[in-house]
Chains A and B, each alone.
Chain A
Amino acid sequence: MSILIKRSKSGCFNSACNVKLWRLNSTSADSALKKGEEEEEFRVLDILKKRDKMQRRVVKRTDVQPDRIDRMATNQNWGNVWPGPKTFHPSSVPLPIRQGYVPKGQAPPGKKANAELMKIPNFLHLTPPVIKSQCEALKQFCTEWPNLLNSEESIDKHYPLEIISSDYCHASPSIRNPLARVVILRVKLADLKLDKHSTDKFKRLVGDRYDPKTDLVTITADRCPTKVQNLDYVNYLLTACYHESWNFEDWEKEKTEDDMEYYDWDNNASKRSLIDWYLRIKNESKIMNDEEYKAFDISQIENGAQYKAAVSIYMNEGENPQTVQEYSIAVRKLFGLPQKKLF
């Protein structure tokens, strides 16, 4: 084998090339020996390019700038560093944050190149000093809180209607939360101008939404997709119920004793039984129709008023040992029986 010497190569290697011409016939097993002699005498054919690769890896990148963290002063204005909502940038945030799945025996992953930290929304643009400065800037457009609205009662008096809604921040790629569309309207029934018939009708229309203990009507709307629409719907419901309860329909005249929401003793069978009993005692039993029963004056019957009160409470307030006890006392007085002795 002979190789043509190319004179176009750099002249310093000419003599070396001459030397190498002869060496090409030798085996590759001698290459280790030849390394030391390479620069002096012959070129060595490097097929696998091992040495070049090793050299390349050792070379350092020297064009990376130092992190911004290292150049931050401790008394800097953070609002200038992070002026608006921005994806998390680890080299700008001087905090040693760790987030993510914790492998066994190791610490959670650090902040550099942490996809999880970058995915979630951060509020680094709304730190308290920044908020304060924003509020200060907004204050010039605001008026003062009215002096006389200094207690709960006065606020309730002037602003009886309450609208309750929630805002949410979702910790996922989308910050929208479907629960944010819910709107609740709360108002005290006493603040609405209703008379006896219309309060009863309003309560029946509103049903479960009325809480008798606190006298609050709570209307919740979540059927529309946005909060604004639900708010409109809730307002509509309140106005509709209010105006409907003032209307008197024709069929409402057919209300019977069973539909009554409270127990009126005078219209009920209890009065009839009492009157029958009383007349029988006096041996004057006679058949009376409804009108006469209603008109009968029970003040003639002794202890009748107490009995009437006891039965009314029993029926209206519901049954509990207390009301039964009062009823028993009243009936015993009526019959002239001794009261229950306590041993």
Chain B
Amino acid sequence: MFTRNWKHLCRRYSQAVTFRTSEIYPAQHNENQIGFFYTIKPDLCKQLFNHGGLPKSFMKQTKTFTETAIMVRQPALDVMDCIRASDMNKPVIRYVLYGEKGSGKSLTLAHLLHYALEEGYLILHVPWVSEWLRRTPRHKEMTNSQTKEGFVDLPLDAAEWLLHFKTQNQALLKNCEFKISKDYEWSKREKTEAGSPIAALVEHGINRVKYACDVIDALLLEIKILSNSKQCKTFVAIDGFNSFYYPMTRLNTPTKKKIKPEEVTLTNSFLELTKNDWNNGVVVLTIDQLAVPDENQESFLPRYLLYKKGFEHLDPFVPIEVGRYTDKEFLSCANYYRDRLWLRGPSDLETELKFTSASNPYNFMLQCAPL
């Protein structure tokens, strides 16, 4: 590894040739390390991203490169700075990551998730909202909600999310004793007492899929109460948030009636979560053009993608732009690909690729694939 890096140093790259940093704790990343890749340990990676969180194309790349390496970039550092500077006693501050297609929003979110894990936050991560509302395999498991009139449940998705929550937070759930504050009665025979740990609630939701959505509601309420009482600090990360505000989903009731996002219980749960009526937490959202169908993808700016309702719900929020690679980052990425023997060819290839991919991270990755 070291000799290979040294070989690269000997080449005639005038810019910074090192592209790796050995700093694996995101909390200690600072601007000296912008443009450098750091690797996440495989078991951490599994813990955080087993049920989603990294884009599919990136997962393929990690398999090829046999490591998960994320570049340290300015937006992530910006959010980390703001989190450190913010007062936890004030209501939660919401950060909205926006940017063009393929500019690195989901990966920035992944970086921040790692940071949250290391800092001991309780993580509430929704990997991709459109998965629930728009991706409909042949038969989507949907039921009418029992507790709320006229709403639709997505029990399997809810159960999957609870499992994801459990894996991400297994350390915290084991160590700390987070107790729920009130009774929850699911049916005549099933009841979760006040004072039992949250883990029990989660288990119940995973086992009894029928009540999974209501469990999520209860869970989020409890977590808010816990955060308010300073027992834990919470990190909420939602990817593709604007999908909640798009007028239509791809779901249909058995009577072929189209469902709007606000008629789905999961939507309401997470919208409640992102309100700023609780404190001691951080909310990071990404809004993506890919979360909505092609006709509505004209712009990537927040107001357009969130529609009026979404904007009013989130206002005031801190918009953070995730842009394309800078020159330094681009070269660093190219060096990384060369190191992984993904990109071969003369060194002039970099200038050409920079032009053709317009320094867009996703495009660059795609274009290196056949090379």
Chain A interface (Cβ < 8 Å from any Cβ of B): 268-270, 273-274, 276-277, 280-281, 285, 307, 311, 314-315, 319-321, 324, 327-328, 331-332, 334-338, 340-341, 343
On whether the beta carbons of A338 and B81 are closer than 8 Å, the reply is yes
Write the nearest CB–CB distance from A8 to chain B, whole angstroms. Answer: 109
For A269, the closest partner residue in chain B by CB is B312
Query: Considering the complex, which residues of chain B in the window 319-353 have a beta carbon less than 8 Å from any beta carbon of chain A?
Result: 319-321, 326
A278 to B35, CA, bound (A): 38
Chain B interface (Cβ < 8 Å from any Cβ of A): 31, 34, 74, 78, 81-82, 85-87, 90-91, 93, 276-277, 299, 301-304, 312, 315-321, 326
Please report whether the interface of chain A is mostly helix, strand, loop or mixed according to DSSP: helix
On whether the beta carbons of B86 and A335 are closer than 8 Å, the reply is yes
For B319, the closest partner residue in chain A by CB is A328
A331 to B31, CA, bound (A): 23
Of the candidates B87, B276, B317, which one forms a contact with A331 in the assembled complex, judged by CB atoms under 8 Å apart?
B317
Residues of B contacting A334 in the complex (Cβ-Cβ under 8 angstroms): 316
On whether the beta carbons of B87 and A319 are closer than 8 Å, the reply is no
A268 to B315, CA, bound (A): 11
A320 to B277, CA, bound (A): 30
For A330, the closest partner residue in chain B by CB is B316
Of the candidates A270, A276, A281, A337, which one forms a contact with B85 in the assembled complex, judged by CB atoms under 8 Å apart?
A337
On whether the beta carbons of A280 and B91 are closer than 8 Å, the reply is yes
On whether the beta carbons of B91 and A337 are closer than 8 Å, the reply is no
Residues of B contacting A307 in the complex (Cβ-Cβ under 8 angstroms): 316
On whether the beta carbons of B81 and A324 are closer than 8 Å, the reply is no
On whether the beta carbons of A337 and B82 are closer than 8 Å, the reply is yes
A273 to B310, CA, bound (A): 13
A321 to B317, CA, bound (A): 16
On whether the beta carbons of A337 and B319 are closer than 8 Å, the reply is no
On whether the beta carbons of B316 and A324 are closer than 8 Å, the reply is no
A273 to B277, CA, bound (A): 10
Residues of B contacting A331 in the complex (Cβ-Cβ under 8 angstroms): 316-319
Write the nearest CB–CB distance from A136 to chain B, whole angstroms. Answer: 62
Write the nearest CB–CB distance from A202 to chain B, whole angstroms. Answer: 26
On whether the beta carbons of B303 and A337 are closer than 8 Å, the reply is no
Given contacts A277-B276, A328-B318, A341-B31, 5 further A-B contacts (CB under 8 A): A269-B312, A319-B304, A324-B319, A338-B82, A341-B78
A199 to B272, CA, bound (A): 42
A51 to B277, CA, bound (A): 125
Q: A328-B320, A337-B318, A343-B34 are in contact. Are A273 and B91 (CB under 8 A)?
A: no
On whether the beta carbons of B318 and A273 are closer than 8 Å, the reply is no
**Sampled A-B contacts (27; CB under 8 Å):** A269-B312, A269-B315, A270-B315, A273-B316, A274-B315, A277-B316, A280-B277, A285-B277, A319-B303, A319-B304, A320-B301, A321-B301, A324-B319, A332-B82, A332-B318, A335-B86, A335-B318, A336-B85, A336-B86, A336-B87, A337-B86, A337-B93, A338-B82, A338-B85, A341-B74, A341-B78, A343-B34
Residues of B contacting A311 in the complex (Cβ-Cβ under 8 angstroms): 315
Q: A319-B301, A332-B318, A338-B85 are in contact. Are A277 and B31 (CB under 8 A)?
A: no
Write the nearest CB–CB distance from B227 to chain A, whole angstroms. Answer: 14
On whether the beta carbons of A343 and B74 are closer than 8 Å, the reply is yes
Residues of A contacting B91 in the complex (Cβ-Cβ under 8 angstroms): 277, 280-281
On whether the beta carbons of B317 and A324 are closer than 8 Å, the reply is no
Write the nearest CB–CB distance from A215 to chain B, whole angstroms. Answer: 27
Write the nearest CB–CB distance from B108 to chain A, whole angstroms. Answer: 14
A273 to B93, CA, bound (A): 13
A280 to B303, CA, bound (A): 25
Write the nearest CB–CB distance from B90 to chain A, whole angstroms. Answer: 6
On whether the beta carbons of A335 and B93 are closer than 8 Å, the reply is yes
For A335, the closest partner residue in chain B by CB is B93
Residues of B contacting A277 in the complex (Cβ-Cβ under 8 angstroms): 91, 276, 316
Write the nearest CB–CB distance from B263 to chain A, whole angstroms. Answer: 22
A332 to B87, CA, bound (A): 13
Write the nearest CB–CB distance from A160 to chain B, whole angstroms. Answer: 38
On whether the beta carbons of A319 and B299 are closer than 8 Å, the reply is yes
Write the nearest CB–CB distance from B78 to chain A, whole angstroms. Answer: 6
Residues of A contacting B86 in the complex (Cβ-Cβ under 8 angstroms): 335-337
Residues of B contacting A274 in the complex (Cβ-Cβ under 8 angstroms): 315-316
Write the nearest CB–CB distance from B350 to chain A, whole angstroms. Answer: 21
A341 to B79, CA, bound (A): 11
Of the candidates A273, A321, A328, which one forms a contact with B315 in the assembled complex, judged by CB atoms under 8 Å apart?
A273
For B278, the closest partner residue in chain A by CB is A280
